[in-house]
Copies of this chain bind each other. A is one copy, B any other.
Amino acid sequence: MEIEIKPIGIVHSPFKKTEDIEPGKYAYPRGFDSIQGELEIFKEFEDGLKDIEGFSHLIVIFAFHKSEGFKLHTKPLLDDILRGVFSTRSSHRPNPIGITVVNVRERKGNILKVSGVDMIEGTPILDIKPYTPRDQKSSIKLGWLDDKMKK
């Protein structure tokens, strides 16, 4: 069973390539909060943005389009030990799908101006969903990441 997925838009980002992103930013929960960019939704899907301005935060599902192949064990940016890929946010995954929660600043037609961008320029957007209280979890445990995240 294969599922065909096609982009509904693209990300515009100050990061032009992966190397432009300082890995240390990932150690801070708010490391990307000030990074601004745009979500350009293709015109054919613009009607699907109705009502979106009311939400402060959106979940963006995107393709890691520069990722080639995957490894089941991978060395995360924040660690020196090989970890299981599903316990990391690595881009080298069996399905190269990423998610990031962004803050909506403004909508102009098919363009959403957002902050909290950690994707690179040209990243294909696969879906956008409202972030809701069901996505807010507390008392979380972070496994190997625990002493790598700055609190």
Contacts and interface: CB of A to CB of B under 8 A. Distances in A.
A54 B144 contact: yes
Interface in A108-144: 124, 126-144
Q: How many copies does the complex hold?
A: 2
A55 B143 contact: yes
A148 to B, nearest CB: 10
Interface in A89-119: 89, 93-97, 99, 101, 103
A94 to B, nearest CB: 5
Interface string A12-28: 00000000000000100
Contact of A5 (B5, B32, B87): B5
Contacts of A50: 72-73, 82-84, 87
A51 B143 CA distance: 7
Interface of A: 1-8, 26, 29, 31-32, 41, 45, 47-59, 61, 63, 72-73, 82-89, 93-97, 99, 101, 103, 124, 126-146, 149, 151
